[in-house]
């Protein structure tokens, strides 16, 4: 089965990644997690995207502040990229706007601020498009836990 990659710009974003990981584990979807900054480690990001993510079908990119990570990834791959803005000094609005205002030709799907769970649920829907054996499965999400996952 294809994997989901979760790439965080910083270890400080891990609390958002944990929400996505919980959903992926509940649905038994393989994943890998990396911390690679688009600003501090551009060469490491390039190397990972060229050589390290062959079995990855969808990338969840989690970033705050200027939030360049999802856009940089989307500019270097044709794999679907889901951006998750992280709350910070401007309550995450800076990160959100950085992600949704991508130029034409560099698509990034974006979920709500700190909403790692929705990013994972969107990744599951994307994966199902290419997996006939899972297309009939319902993606279950217990809304009673929704507030805890955000």
Is the pLDDT at 1 greater than 70? The verdict is no
Instruction: Please give the average per-residue pLDDT across 106-134, as a whole number.
Output: 90
Q: Give residue 130's pLDDT.
A: 78
Instruction: Give every CB contact of residue 65 below 8 A, 6+ residues apart in sequence.
Output: 88, 89, 94, 95
The domain segmentation of the chain, as residue ranges, is: 3-149
Percent of the chain with pLDDT over 90: 79
User: 31-40, pLDDT tens digit by residue?
Assistant: 999 999 999 9
pLDDT in tens, 44-73: 999 999 998 899 999 999 999 889 999 999
Q: What pLDDT, in 10s, does the model give residues 65-103? A: 889 999 999 999 999 999 999 998 899 999 999 999 999
Helices (H), the chain: 14-26, 42-47, 69-76, 93-100, 116-129, 146-149
pTM: 0.88
What does the alpha-carbon distance between residue 49 and residue 91 come to, in Å, rounded to a whole number? 30
Q: Show the tokens assigned to 122.
A: 């969107």
Range 3-149: architecture per CATH: 3-Layer(aba) Sandwich (3.40)
pLDDT for residue 149: 44
């Amino acid at each position: 089965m294809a994997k989901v990659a979760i790439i965080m710009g910083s270890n400080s974003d891990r609390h958002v990644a944990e929400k996505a990981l919980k959903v992926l584990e509940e649905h038994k979807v393989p994943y890998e997690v990396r911390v690679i900054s688009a600003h501090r480690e551009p060469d490491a990001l390039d190397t990972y995207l060229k050589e390290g993510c062959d079995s990855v079908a969808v990338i969840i990119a989690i970033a705050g502040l200027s939030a360049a990570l999802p856009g940089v990834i989307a500019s270097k791959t044709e794999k679907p990229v889901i951006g998750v803005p992280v709350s910070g000094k401007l309550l995450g609005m800076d990160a959100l706007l950085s992600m949704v205002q991508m130029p034409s030709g560099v698509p990034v799907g974006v979920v709500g601020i700190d909403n790692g769970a929705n990013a994972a649920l969107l990744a599951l829907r994307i994966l199902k498009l290419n997996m006939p054996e899972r297309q009939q499965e319902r993606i279950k999400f217990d809304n009673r836990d929704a507030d805890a996952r955000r």
